[in-house]
């Protein structure tokens, strides 16, 4: 008899991050993606990329994003539908910044059927969010993020990866941040209740007001335990 044991391929792991701008979704999603080799799907990054390339989607999204409002659901659902079909999503993916509205959540379920998801809701007090967003700096080439106090680049103020000068995202400026937080409260926060009531979604509230390593440790143990 051969020594090869048949092992059923592990079911893909799918993760949704909820939480307001500045909660650390991008940082944690990137770390999860590296550790588990999941695809990281950041709709904000995809839209900023479309703007940089001047595509029709980018031209439509740019003025909306500048105001701190949400881009229409139909555009986001189209982006996600194409993205999750790609080969790198087969073993799992992390959604960072999607869904952000009820129609987006319903649209996602219509695409994936009864698939299981982990949902991490990262909570951070408002004053801390403002501190994080106002100090956030961003590389327009590779989209890495930094913070002037807590995670500065090695050389002031150049990206560690490609030496591009870092900038503040237009929508991290104070007046726009207020609009983004209001959009979160009105349109995204209701998804917490939505997911808490659905059996295919393993919902976890995470205290994001801690060092990134501590938050990551908790996410990791939840995923490893498959809870």
Residues marked active site are found at: 25, 100, 136, 169, 180
Q: How far is the CB of 225 from ligand AMP (least distance, A)?
A: 28
Size of the site for ligand AMP (CB under 6 A): 17
Closer to ligand AMP by CB, 57 or 65: give it: 65
Length of the chain (residues)? 227
> Residue 84 interacts with ligand AMP (CB under 6 A)?
no
Is the Cβ–Cβ distance between 119 and 203 less than 8 Å?
A: yes
For residue 200, give every residue at least 6 positions away whose Cβ sits within 8 Å of its Cβ, in sequence order, or none: 114, 115, 116, 117
Closer to ligand AMP by CB, 183 or 206: give it: 183
Beta strand pairing call for 145-147 and 92-96: unpaired
Question: What x/- string results for residues 154 through 193 when contact with ligand AMP is judged by CB under 6 A?
Answer: -----------------x--------x-------------
Q: How far is the CB of 180 from ligand AMP (least distance, A)?
A: 5
Per CB under 6 A, the list member of 32, 50, 71, 177 interacting with ligand AMP is 71
Burial of 202 (0-12, 13-18, 19+ CB in 10 A): middle
Binding to ligand AMP (CB under 6 A) within 1-60 occurs at 21, 43-44, 47
Q: Which long-range contacts (CB under 8 A, 24 or more apart) does 177-186 make?
A: 177/21, 177/68, 177/130, 177/133, 177/134, 178/68, 179/67, 179/68, 179/69, 180/20, 180/21, 180/68, 181/20, 181/21, 181/126, 181/129, 183/68, 183/69, 183/70, 183/100, 184/20, 184/21, 184/100
Q: How far is the CB of 176 from ligand AMP (least distance, A)?
A: 8
> Residue 107 interacts with ligand AMP (CB under 6 A)?
no
> Residue 98 interacts with ligand AMP (CB under 6 A)?
yes
Residue 93 CB coordination number (10 Å): 25
Q: How far is the CB of 145 from ligand AMP (least distance, A)?
A: 9
> Residue 65 interacts with ligand AMP (CB under 6 A)?
yes
Report the chain's terminal Cα–Cα distance, integer Å. 36
> Residue 100 interacts with ligand AMP (CB under 6 A)?
yes
Site for ligand AMP, rule CB under 6 A:
21, 43-44, 47, 64-65, 68-71, 76, 97-98, 100, 104, 171, 180
């Amino acid at each position: 008899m051969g020594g090869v044991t048949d092992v059923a391929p592990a079911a893909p792991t799918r993760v949704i991050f909820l939480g307001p701008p500045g909660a650390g979704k991008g940082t944690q999603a990137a770390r999860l993606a590296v550790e588990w080799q999941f695809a990281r799907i950041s709709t904000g990054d995809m839209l900023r990329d479309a703007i940089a390339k001047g595509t029709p989607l980018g031209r439509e999204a740019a003025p909306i994003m500048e105001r701190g409002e949400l881009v229409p659901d139909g555009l986001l659902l189209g982006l996600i539908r194409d993205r999750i079909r790609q080969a790198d999503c087969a073993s799992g993916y992390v959604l960072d910044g999607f869904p952000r509205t009820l129609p987006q959540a319903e649209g996602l379920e219509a695409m994936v059927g009864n698939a299981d998801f982990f949902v991490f809701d990262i909570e951070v007090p408002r004053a801390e969010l403002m501190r994080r967003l106002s100090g956030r700096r961003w590389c327009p080439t590779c989209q890495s993020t930094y913070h002037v106090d807590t995670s500065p680049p090695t050389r002031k103020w150049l990206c560690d990866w490609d030496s591009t000068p870092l900038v503040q995202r237009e929508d991290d400026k104070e007046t726009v941040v207020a609009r983004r937080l209001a959009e979160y409260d009105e349109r995204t926060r209701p998804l917490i209740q939505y997911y808490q009531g659905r059996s295919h979604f393993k919902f976890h509230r995470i205290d994001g007001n801690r060092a990134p390593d501590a938050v990551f440790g908790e996410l990791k143990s939840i995923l490893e335990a498959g809870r």
